Structure 1
Amino acid sequence: YFVKVAWAWTFWLLLPFITLTAYQFAKSKLLYSPARRVVSVLRRLGTLLVGTAIWYCCTSLFLYIENLTGTCSAAGKVGEPRRLYATKQECRRDSGSWNGFDISGHCFLLSYCAMMIVEEVAVLEGLSIDQNSKLRVVINGLFVSLCFLAGIWVFMFLCTALYFHDFSQKLIGVVIGLSAWYGTYRVWYLKPISPGLPLPNVPLSSKKYSYSR
Protein backbone atom coordinates (compact mmCIF):
# COMPACT_ATOMS: atom_id res chain seq x y z
CA TYR A 1 0.00 0.00 0.00
CA PHE A 2 2.91 2.35 0.73
CA VAL A 3 3.99 2.14 -2.91
CA LYS A 4 0.45 2.74 -4.18
CA VAL A 5 0.59 6.24 -2.69
CA ALA A 6 4.18 6.86 -3.84
CA TRP A 7 3.16 9.98 -5.72
CA ALA A 8 1.54 11.43 -2.60
CA TRP A 9 4.74 10.96 -0.56
CA THR A 10 6.84 12.45 -3.35
CA PHE A 11 4.43 15.34 -3.88
CA TRP A 12 4.23 16.44 -0.25
CA LEU A 13 8.00 16.37 0.24
CA LEU A 14 8.79 18.14 -3.02
CA LEU A 15 6.17 20.83 -2.40
CA PRO A 16 8.03 22.65 0.42
CA PHE A 17 11.44 21.82 -1.08
CA ILE A 18 10.66 23.37 -4.46
CA THR A 19 8.94 26.35 -2.83
CA LEU A 20 11.88 27.22 -0.59
CA THR A 21 14.69 26.49 -3.03
CA ALA A 22 13.05 28.22 -6.00
CA TYR A 23 12.43 31.39 -3.99
CA GLN A 24 15.89 31.36 -2.44
CA PHE A 25 17.55 30.72 -5.80
CA ALA A 26 15.80 33.71 -7.37
CA LYS A 27 16.62 35.85 -4.34
CA SER A 28 20.30 34.88 -4.14
CA LYS A 29 20.85 35.53 -7.84
CA LEU A 30 19.03 38.88 -7.65
CA LEU A 31 16.99 37.78 -10.63
CA TYR A 32 13.59 39.22 -9.80
CA SER A 33 11.65 41.62 -7.63
CA PRO A 34 9.85 39.99 -4.65
CA ALA A 35 6.61 39.75 -6.62
CA ARG A 36 8.29 38.09 -9.58
CA ARG A 37 10.09 35.69 -7.26
CA VAL A 38 6.71 34.47 -6.09
CA VAL A 39 5.66 34.05 -9.71
CA SER A 40 8.82 32.06 -10.41
CA VAL A 41 8.04 29.80 -7.44
CA LEU A 42 4.51 29.20 -8.70
CA ARG A 43 5.91 28.41 -12.12
CA ARG A 44 8.30 25.83 -10.68
CA LEU A 45 5.50 24.31 -8.61
CA GLY A 46 3.87 23.61 -11.95
CA THR A 47 6.16 20.58 -12.11
CA LEU A 48 4.02 19.00 -9.40
CA LEU A 49 0.85 19.67 -11.36
CA VAL A 50 2.46 18.11 -14.42
CA GLY A 51 3.56 15.13 -12.35
CA THR A 52 0.06 14.72 -10.93
CA ALA A 53 -1.42 14.79 -14.44
CA ILE A 54 1.11 12.21 -15.63
CA TRP A 55 0.38 9.96 -12.64
CA TYR A 56 -3.39 10.19 -13.10
CA CYS A 57 -3.43 9.74 -16.88
CA CYS A 58 -0.97 6.85 -16.93
CA THR A 59 -2.54 4.90 -14.07
CA SER A 60 -5.99 5.40 -15.61
CA LEU A 61 -4.63 4.15 -18.94
CA PHE A 62 -3.10 1.09 -17.29
CA LEU A 63 -6.41 0.25 -15.64
CA TYR A 64 -8.28 0.74 -18.91
CA ILE A 65 -5.90 -1.61 -20.74
CA GLU A 66 -6.21 -4.23 -18.01
CA ASN A 67 -10.01 -4.07 -18.15
CA LEU A 68 -9.99 -4.15 -21.95
CA THR A 69 -7.75 -7.20 -22.21
CA GLY A 70 -8.97 -9.16 -19.19
CA THR A 71 -11.40 -11.94 -18.46
CA CYS A 72 -12.85 -13.02 -15.14
CA SER A 73 -12.56 -16.46 -13.61
CA ALA A 74 -15.36 -16.66 -11.09
CA ALA A 75 -17.37 -19.58 -9.80
CA GLY A 76 -21.00 -18.96 -10.75
CA LYS A 77 -24.00 -20.36 -8.94
CA VAL A 78 -25.38 -23.68 -10.12
CA GLY A 79 -28.17 -23.27 -12.65
CA GLU A 80 -27.38 -19.63 -13.40
CA PRO A 81 -25.96 -18.47 -16.75
CA ARG A 82 -22.30 -17.48 -16.76
CA ARG A 83 -21.97 -13.77 -16.06
CA LEU A 84 -19.77 -11.52 -18.18
CA TYR A 85 -17.71 -8.99 -16.26
CA ALA A 86 -16.66 -5.67 -17.77
CA THR A 87 -14.11 -4.58 -15.17
CA LYS A 88 -11.67 -5.98 -12.66
CA GLN A 89 -13.62 -4.39 -9.81
CA GLU A 90 -16.85 -6.19 -10.76
CA CYS A 91 -14.98 -9.47 -10.97
CA ARG A 92 -13.39 -9.09 -7.56
CA ARG A 93 -16.71 -8.16 -5.96
CA ASP A 94 -17.84 -11.68 -6.83
CA SER A 95 -14.59 -13.16 -5.48
CA GLY A 96 -13.29 -13.79 -8.98
CA SER A 97 -9.81 -13.62 -10.43
CA TRP A 98 -9.18 -11.12 -13.23
CA ASN A 99 -6.66 -12.07 -15.91
CA GLY A 100 -5.62 -9.11 -18.03
CA PHE A 101 -2.50 -7.34 -19.26
CA ASP A 102 -1.50 -5.52 -16.08
CA ILE A 103 1.17 -2.93 -16.90
CA SER A 104 3.25 -2.43 -13.78
CA GLY A 105 2.08 0.80 -12.23
CA HIS A 106 4.69 0.34 -9.52
CA CYS A 107 7.57 0.23 -12.00
CA PHE A 108 6.18 3.26 -13.79
CA LEU A 109 5.58 5.33 -10.68
CA LEU A 110 8.72 4.40 -8.76
CA SER A 111 11.03 5.09 -11.69
CA TYR A 112 9.32 8.41 -12.44
CA CYS A 113 9.30 9.57 -8.80
CA ALA A 114 12.95 8.63 -8.24
CA MET A 115 14.10 10.47 -11.36
CA MET A 116 12.01 13.51 -10.48
CA ILE A 117 13.57 13.70 -7.02
CA VAL A 118 17.07 13.47 -8.52
CA GLU A 119 16.26 16.31 -10.91
CA GLU A 120 14.80 18.59 -8.25
CA VAL A 121 17.54 18.22 -5.63
CA ALA A 122 20.06 19.32 -8.29
CA VAL A 123 19.04 22.90 -7.47
CA LEU A 124 21.30 22.73 -4.41
CA GLU A 125 24.30 22.85 -6.73
CA GLY A 126 23.51 26.47 -7.54
CA LEU A 127 22.02 27.58 -4.23
CA SER A 128 23.82 29.87 -1.80
CA ILE A 129 22.57 30.05 1.80
CA ASP A 130 24.22 31.28 4.99
CA GLN A 131 25.78 28.45 6.96
CA ASN A 132 23.94 29.26 10.19
CA SER A 133 20.52 30.20 8.83
CA LYS A 134 17.37 28.37 9.90
CA LEU A 135 16.38 28.09 6.25
CA ARG A 136 19.48 26.01 5.60
CA VAL A 137 18.49 23.60 8.37
CA VAL A 138 15.01 23.21 6.90
CA ILE A 139 16.31 22.66 3.37
CA ASN A 140 18.90 20.17 4.65
CA GLY A 141 16.14 18.26 6.42
CA LEU A 142 14.02 18.17 3.28
CA PHE A 143 17.02 17.12 1.21
CA VAL A 144 17.82 14.20 3.53
CA SER A 145 14.15 13.17 3.55
CA LEU A 146 13.99 13.23 -0.24
CA CYS A 147 17.18 11.19 -0.53
CA PHE A 148 15.80 8.67 1.95
CA LEU A 149 12.53 8.51 0.02
CA ALA A 150 14.37 8.02 -3.28
CA GLY A 151 16.28 5.16 -1.67
CA ILE A 152 13.00 3.55 -0.62
CA TRP A 153 11.64 3.90 -4.16
CA VAL A 154 14.73 2.22 -5.61
CA PHE A 155 14.46 -0.62 -3.09
CA MET A 156 10.75 -1.10 -3.76
CA PHE A 157 11.44 -0.98 -7.49
CA LEU A 158 13.91 -3.86 -7.13
CA CYS A 159 11.37 -5.84 -5.08
CA THR A 160 8.73 -5.29 -7.75
CA ALA A 161 11.17 -6.28 -10.48
CA LEU A 162 11.98 -9.54 -8.69
CA TYR A 163 8.62 -10.69 -7.39
CA PHE A 164 5.71 -9.11 -9.27
CA HIS A 165 4.35 -8.97 -12.84
CA ASP A 166 5.94 -10.54 -15.88
CA PHE A 167 8.86 -9.07 -17.80
CA SER A 168 6.87 -7.29 -20.51
CA GLN A 169 4.56 -5.62 -17.98
CA LYS A 170 7.52 -4.36 -15.94
CA LEU A 171 9.43 -3.24 -19.02
CA ILE A 172 6.51 -1.21 -20.37
CA GLY A 173 5.98 0.38 -16.96
CA VAL A 174 9.63 1.44 -16.73
CA VAL A 175 9.71 2.71 -20.32
CA ILE A 176 6.64 4.88 -19.71
CA GLY A 177 8.06 6.19 -16.42
CA LEU A 178 11.42 7.10 -17.94
CA SER A 179 9.74 8.54 -21.03
CA ALA A 180 7.63 10.80 -18.80
CA TRP A 181 10.78 11.99 -17.02
CA TYR A 182 12.74 12.51 -20.25
CA GLY A 183 9.88 14.19 -22.05
CA THR A 184 9.48 16.74 -19.26
CA TYR A 185 12.93 17.45 -17.81
CA ARG A 186 14.98 16.86 -20.94
CA VAL A 187 12.62 18.26 -23.57
CA TRP A 188 9.60 20.29 -22.46
CA TYR A 189 11.12 22.05 -19.42
CA LEU A 190 13.84 23.48 -21.66
CA LYS A 191 11.16 25.49 -23.48
CA PRO A 192 10.09 29.01 -22.41
CA ILE A 193 6.47 27.95 -21.92
CA SER A 194 6.96 25.32 -19.24
CA PRO A 195 7.53 25.02 -15.48
CA GLY A 196 11.25 25.25 -16.22
CA LEU A 197 14.23 23.47 -14.71
CA PRO A 198 15.41 23.73 -11.08
CA LEU A 199 18.51 25.60 -12.30
CA PRO A 200 17.25 27.89 -15.08
CA ASN A 201 19.74 29.17 -17.63
CA VAL A 202 22.65 27.51 -15.83
CA PRO A 203 24.54 25.10 -18.11
CA LEU A 204 25.94 21.95 -16.54
CA SER A 205 29.52 23.01 -17.22
CA SER A 206 29.15 26.22 -15.21
CA LYS A 207 27.42 24.94 -12.09
CA LYS A 208 29.03 26.07 -8.86
CA TYR A 209 28.89 23.74 -5.91
CA SER A 210 28.33 26.50 -3.39
CA TYR A 211 25.84 24.66 -1.21
CA SER A 212 27.88 22.44 1.09
CA ARG A 213 25.79 19.91 2.95
Structure 2
Amino acid sequence: MAAVGSIVNNLACFWRQPCTRTYLPHLFICISFTGSFLKMMDLVPESYFSSSRNILNLYFVKISWGWTIVLLLPFIIYSNSFNKSHTFVLRRLTSLLVATLIWYTCTETFFYIEDITGSCYESDNMQVIHGDITTKTACKKAGFIWDGFDISGHSFILAYSSLVIVEEMVPMLHITDVYRKPPLDFLYIALNAIVVIWIWMFGCTSVYFHDLIDKILGTLCGILGWYMTYVVWYPFRFSPGLPPQQKQHA
Protein backbone atom coordinates (compact mmCIF):
# COMPACT_ATOMS: atom_id res chain seq x y z
CA MET A 1 0.00 0.00 0.00
CA ALA A 2 2.99 2.27 0.46
CA ALA A 3 3.59 2.15 -3.29
CA VAL A 4 -0.02 3.17 -3.94
CA GLY A 5 0.30 6.05 -1.51
CA SER A 6 3.48 7.17 -3.22
CA ILE A 7 1.78 7.15 -6.63
CA VAL A 8 -1.13 9.16 -5.25
CA ASN A 9 1.20 11.71 -3.68
CA ASN A 10 3.15 12.11 -6.92
CA LEU A 11 -0.04 12.57 -8.93
CA ALA A 12 -1.35 15.12 -6.45
CA CYS A 13 1.97 16.96 -6.60
CA PHE A 14 1.69 17.11 -10.39
CA TRP A 15 -1.83 18.56 -10.32
CA ARG A 16 -0.87 21.10 -7.66
CA GLN A 17 1.33 22.83 -10.19
CA PRO A 18 -0.60 25.95 -11.29
CA CYS A 19 0.04 25.41 -14.99
CA THR A 20 -1.30 21.85 -15.18
CA ARG A 21 -4.95 22.69 -14.53
CA THR A 22 -4.90 26.27 -15.78
CA TYR A 23 -3.57 25.42 -19.22
CA LEU A 24 -5.36 22.12 -19.80
CA PRO A 25 -8.06 23.73 -22.01
CA HIS A 26 -5.30 25.43 -24.01
CA LEU A 27 -3.59 22.06 -24.43
CA PHE A 28 -6.65 20.60 -26.14
CA ILE A 29 -6.89 23.52 -28.57
CA CYS A 30 -3.17 23.28 -29.30
CA ILE A 31 -3.41 19.53 -29.94
CA SER A 32 -6.35 20.08 -32.31
CA PHE A 33 -4.47 22.60 -34.41
CA THR A 34 -1.17 20.73 -34.36
CA GLY A 35 -2.76 17.36 -35.10
CA SER A 36 -4.83 18.81 -37.93
CA PHE A 37 -1.73 20.38 -39.47
CA LEU A 38 0.12 17.06 -39.31
CA LYS A 39 -2.89 15.32 -40.87
CA MET A 40 -3.19 17.91 -43.62
CA MET A 41 0.52 17.63 -44.46
CA ASP A 42 0.34 13.84 -44.22
CA LEU A 43 3.32 13.81 -41.87
CA VAL A 44 2.12 11.05 -39.55
CA PRO A 45 2.19 7.49 -40.92
CA GLU A 46 -0.69 5.13 -40.32
CA SER A 47 -0.48 3.13 -37.13
CA TYR A 48 -2.54 0.91 -34.88
CA PHE A 49 -4.35 4.01 -33.62
CA SER A 50 -5.25 5.24 -37.10
CA SER A 51 -7.90 2.51 -37.17
CA SER A 52 -11.15 3.11 -35.33
CA ARG A 53 -11.01 -0.58 -34.38
CA ASN A 54 -8.16 -0.07 -31.90
CA ILE A 55 -8.87 -1.39 -28.43
CA LEU A 56 -8.82 1.99 -26.67
CA ASN A 57 -11.40 3.37 -29.05
CA LEU A 58 -13.66 0.33 -28.90
CA TYR A 59 -13.63 -0.29 -25.17
CA PHE A 60 -12.92 3.14 -23.74
CA VAL A 61 -13.69 6.07 -26.06
CA LYS A 62 -16.92 4.59 -27.45
CA ILE A 63 -18.26 4.38 -23.90
CA SER A 64 -16.17 7.22 -22.49
CA TRP A 65 -19.01 8.90 -20.63
CA GLY A 66 -19.84 5.59 -18.97
CA TRP A 67 -16.26 5.26 -17.72
CA THR A 68 -16.35 8.85 -16.49
CA ILE A 69 -19.57 8.38 -14.52
CA VAL A 70 -18.65 4.96 -13.09
CA LEU A 71 -15.38 6.30 -11.68
CA LEU A 72 -16.51 9.78 -10.66
CA LEU A 73 -19.66 8.72 -8.81
CA PRO A 74 -17.93 6.85 -5.96
CA PHE A 75 -14.97 9.24 -6.04
CA ILE A 76 -17.19 12.28 -5.44
CA ILE A 77 -18.95 10.47 -2.59
CA TYR A 78 -15.66 9.58 -0.89
CA SER A 79 -13.73 12.78 -1.55
CA ASN A 80 -16.57 15.19 -0.72
CA SER A 81 -17.60 13.54 2.54
CA PHE A 82 -14.76 14.78 4.77
CA ASN A 83 -16.19 17.16 7.39
CA LYS A 84 -19.28 17.55 5.21
CA SER A 85 -22.95 16.69 5.56
CA HIS A 86 -24.84 14.18 3.45
CA THR A 87 -26.73 17.12 1.95
CA PHE A 88 -23.49 18.60 0.67
CA VAL A 89 -22.46 15.29 -0.90
CA LEU A 90 -25.84 14.89 -2.60
CA ARG A 91 -25.61 18.45 -3.86
CA ARG A 92 -22.18 17.75 -5.31
CA LEU A 93 -23.45 14.60 -7.01
CA THR A 94 -25.89 16.71 -9.01
CA SER A 95 -22.85 17.99 -10.90
CA LEU A 96 -22.83 14.59 -12.63
CA LEU A 97 -26.45 15.09 -13.66
CA VAL A 98 -25.59 18.50 -15.10
CA ALA A 99 -22.56 17.08 -16.90
CA THR A 100 -24.61 14.22 -18.32
CA LEU A 101 -27.22 16.67 -19.58
CA ILE A 102 -24.50 18.70 -21.30
CA TRP A 103 -23.01 15.54 -22.83
CA TYR A 104 -26.38 14.33 -24.10
CA THR A 105 -27.47 17.72 -25.45
CA CYS A 106 -24.22 18.32 -27.31
CA THR A 107 -23.95 14.86 -28.84
CA GLU A 108 -27.58 14.86 -29.97
CA THR A 109 -27.09 18.33 -31.45
CA PHE A 110 -24.04 17.11 -33.36
CA PHE A 111 -26.07 14.20 -34.77
CA TYR A 112 -28.89 16.55 -35.76
CA ILE A 113 -26.55 18.97 -37.52
CA GLU A 114 -24.94 16.13 -39.46
CA ASP A 115 -28.38 14.89 -40.55
CA ILE A 116 -29.72 18.24 -41.77
CA THR A 117 -26.51 19.19 -43.59
CA GLY A 118 -25.76 15.83 -45.18
CA SER A 119 -26.71 13.69 -48.14
CA CYS A 120 -26.60 9.97 -48.82
CA TYR A 121 -24.27 8.76 -51.56
CA GLU A 122 -23.81 5.38 -53.13
CA SER A 123 -20.02 5.41 -53.08
CA ASP A 124 -16.94 7.43 -52.16
CA ASN A 125 -16.96 9.29 -55.48
CA MET A 126 -20.09 11.16 -54.29
CA GLN A 127 -21.71 10.97 -57.73
CA VAL A 128 -24.88 8.97 -57.15
CA ILE A 129 -27.08 10.60 -54.53
CA HIS A 130 -30.05 9.05 -52.75
CA GLY A 131 -32.34 11.97 -52.01
CA ASP A 132 -35.02 9.75 -50.52
CA ILE A 133 -32.74 8.87 -47.57
CA THR A 134 -32.60 11.80 -45.17
CA THR A 135 -30.70 10.53 -42.12
CA LYS A 136 -27.24 9.15 -41.54
CA THR A 137 -28.63 6.13 -39.71
CA ALA A 138 -30.86 5.13 -42.62
CA CYS A 139 -28.07 5.76 -45.10
CA LYS A 140 -25.58 3.58 -43.23
CA LYS A 141 -28.21 0.88 -42.76
CA ALA A 142 -28.74 0.80 -46.52
CA GLY A 143 -25.02 0.31 -47.03
CA PHE A 144 -24.35 3.76 -48.46
CA ILE A 145 -22.14 6.70 -47.43
CA TRP A 146 -23.40 9.77 -45.57
CA ASP A 147 -21.60 13.07 -46.04
CA GLY A 148 -22.55 15.91 -43.70
CA PHE A 149 -21.07 18.49 -41.35
CA ASP A 150 -19.63 16.13 -38.77
CA ILE A 151 -18.62 17.99 -35.60
CA SER A 152 -16.17 15.73 -33.79
CA GLY A 153 -17.95 14.03 -30.93
CA HIS A 154 -14.65 12.45 -29.91
CA SER A 155 -12.96 15.84 -29.58
CA PHE A 156 -15.91 17.09 -27.54
CA ILE A 157 -16.29 14.21 -25.11
CA LEU A 158 -12.58 13.59 -24.55
CA ALA A 159 -11.89 17.25 -23.80
CA TYR A 160 -15.04 17.73 -21.72
CA SER A 161 -14.63 14.53 -19.74
CA SER A 162 -10.98 15.29 -18.98
CA LEU A 163 -11.77 18.80 -17.75
CA VAL A 164 -14.62 17.57 -15.55
CA ILE A 165 -12.50 14.80 -14.04
CA VAL A 166 -9.60 17.14 -13.30
CA GLU A 167 -11.96 19.56 -11.55
CA GLU A 168 -13.51 16.80 -9.46
CA MET A 169 -10.08 15.45 -8.44
CA VAL A 170 -9.19 18.72 -6.68
CA PRO A 171 -10.02 17.44 -3.14
CA MET A 172 -7.18 14.92 -3.40
CA LEU A 173 -4.71 17.79 -3.58
CA HIS A 174 -5.53 18.65 0.02
CA ILE A 175 -6.61 15.44 1.76
CA THR A 176 -3.75 14.27 3.97
CA ASP A 177 -2.53 10.67 4.13
CA VAL A 178 -4.21 10.21 7.51
CA TYR A 179 -7.67 10.68 6.03
CA ARG A 180 -7.15 8.76 2.79
CA LYS A 181 -8.43 5.21 2.41
CA PRO A 182 -7.40 2.58 -0.18
CA PRO A 183 -10.66 2.81 -2.20
CA LEU A 184 -10.18 6.56 -2.61
CA ASP A 185 -6.54 6.12 -3.61
CA PHE A 186 -7.37 3.49 -6.22
CA LEU A 187 -10.19 5.61 -7.65
CA TYR A 188 -7.84 8.58 -7.88
CA ILE A 189 -5.23 6.55 -9.74
CA ALA A 190 -7.90 5.16 -12.07
CA LEU A 191 -9.22 8.65 -12.83
CA ASN A 192 -5.73 9.87 -13.64
CA ALA A 193 -5.22 6.87 -15.92
CA ILE A 194 -8.48 7.67 -17.70
CA VAL A 195 -7.40 11.28 -18.21
CA VAL A 196 -4.14 10.05 -19.77
CA ILE A 197 -6.11 7.77 -22.11
CA TRP A 198 -8.52 10.57 -23.02
CA ILE A 199 -5.69 12.98 -23.86
CA TRP A 200 -3.86 10.33 -25.88
CA MET A 201 -6.98 9.42 -27.85
CA PHE A 202 -7.77 13.12 -28.30
CA GLY A 203 -4.37 13.43 -29.95
CA CYS A 204 -5.05 10.40 -32.15
CA THR A 205 -8.37 11.91 -33.23
CA SER A 206 -6.61 15.15 -34.10
CA VAL A 207 -3.95 13.42 -36.16
CA TYR A 208 -6.00 10.78 -37.95
CA PHE A 209 -9.67 11.81 -38.15
CA HIS A 210 -11.99 14.70 -39.08
CA ASP A 211 -11.29 18.10 -40.60
CA LEU A 212 -9.88 20.99 -38.58
CA ILE A 213 -13.19 22.83 -38.20
CA ASP A 214 -14.93 19.65 -37.00
CA LYS A 215 -12.35 19.10 -34.28
CA ILE A 216 -12.09 22.73 -33.20
CA LEU A 217 -15.86 23.06 -32.83
CA GLY A 218 -16.07 19.82 -30.88
CA THR A 219 -13.21 20.88 -28.63
CA LEU A 220 -14.65 24.34 -28.04
CA CYS A 221 -18.02 22.84 -27.11
CA GLY A 222 -16.29 20.67 -24.52
CA ILE A 223 -14.35 23.60 -23.10
CA LEU A 224 -17.46 25.80 -23.07
CA GLY A 225 -19.46 23.14 -21.22
CA TRP A 226 -16.76 22.97 -18.55
CA TYR A 227 -16.28 26.75 -18.36
CA MET A 228 -19.97 27.65 -18.03
CA THR A 229 -20.38 25.22 -15.13
CA TYR A 230 -17.19 25.04 -13.06
CA VAL A 231 -16.01 28.59 -13.73
CA VAL A 232 -19.23 30.59 -14.18
CA TRP A 233 -22.10 28.77 -12.43
CA TYR A 234 -20.77 26.44 -9.71
CA PRO A 235 -19.14 29.14 -7.55
CA PHE A 236 -22.65 30.48 -6.85
CA ARG A 237 -24.85 29.24 -4.04
CA PHE A 238 -27.70 27.86 -6.13
CA SER A 239 -25.66 25.29 -8.01
CA PRO A 240 -24.07 21.86 -7.47
CA GLY A 241 -21.13 23.78 -6.02
CA LEU A 242 -17.42 23.27 -6.46
CA PRO A 243 -15.44 20.35 -5.01
CA PRO A 244 -14.07 21.02 -1.50
CA GLN A 245 -11.01 23.24 -1.55
CA GLN A 246 -7.98 23.28 0.74
CA LYS A 247 -9.53 25.23 3.60
CA GLN A 248 -12.38 22.73 3.82
CA HIS A 249 -10.22 19.74 4.76
CA ALA A 250 -8.57 19.00 8.05
For 2:202 and 2:228, how far apart are their aligned partners in 1? 21
Matched, 1:50 2:98: yes
Matched, 1:195 2:240: yes
The answer on whether the counterparts of 1:25 and 1:127 sit within 8 Å (CA) in structure 2 is: no
135, 138, 143: which is aligned to 1:90?
138
- The residue identity in structure 2 corresponding to 1:166 is D
Which residue is equivalent to 2:80? Answer: 22
SS in 2 for 1:24: coil
Which residue is equivalent to 1:31? Answer: none
SS in 2 for 1:165: coil
For 2:174 and 2:83, how far apart are their aligned partners in 1? 8
Per the normalisation by structure 1, the TM-score is 0.82
Which residue is equivalent to 1:143? Answer: 188
For 2:143 and 2:173, how far apart are their aligned partners in 1? 53
Q: Deviations over 1:108-145 (max 9, x none)?
A: 000001111111111123334526xxx51111111000
Which residue is equivalent to 1:155? Answer: 200
Q: Deviations over 1:74-130 (max 9, x none)?
A: 27xxxxx95511100111111110000000000000000111111111112333452
Which residue is equivalent to 2:153? Answer: 105
SS in 1 for 2:210: coil
Larger radius of gyration: 1
Question: For structure 2, which runs of at least 5 residues remain unmatched after alignment?
Answer: 1-57, 124-128
Question: For structure 1, which runs of at least 5 residues remain unmatched after alignment?
Answer: 27-36, 76-80
The answer on whether the counterparts of 1:19 and 1:41 sit within 8 Å (CA) in structure 2 is: yes
SS in 1 for 2:146: strand
- The residue identity in structure 2 corresponding to 1:197 is L
Matched, 1:10 2:87: no
Which residue is equivalent to 1:127? Answer: 175
Deviation, 1:190, is 0.7
Deviation, 1:15, is 0.3
For 1:87 and 1:191, how far apart are their aligned partners in 2? 41
Instruction: Report how many residues are paired.
Output: 187
For 2:118 and 2:195, how far apart are their aligned partners in 1? 33
Per the normalisation by structure 2, the TM-score is 0.71
The answer on whether the counterparts of 1:114 and 1:150 sit within 8 Å (CA) in structure 2 is: yes
Which residue is equivalent to 1:179? Answer: 224
Which residue is equivalent to 1:164? Answer: 209
SS in 2 for 1:98: strand
How much identity, in percent, do the aligned residues show? 42
- Structure possessing the higher relative contact order (Cα contacts under 8 Å, 6 or more residues apart): 2
For 2:61 and 2:172, how far apart are their aligned partners in 1? 27
For 1:147 and 1:25, how far apart are their aligned partners in 2? 25
Which residue is equivalent to 2:32? Answer: none
Which residue is equivalent to 1:30? Answer: none
Q: How does 1:58-97 map to 2 (within 5 A)?
A: 58-74=106-122, 83-97=131-145
For 1:82 and 1:5, how far apart are their aligned partners in 2? 32
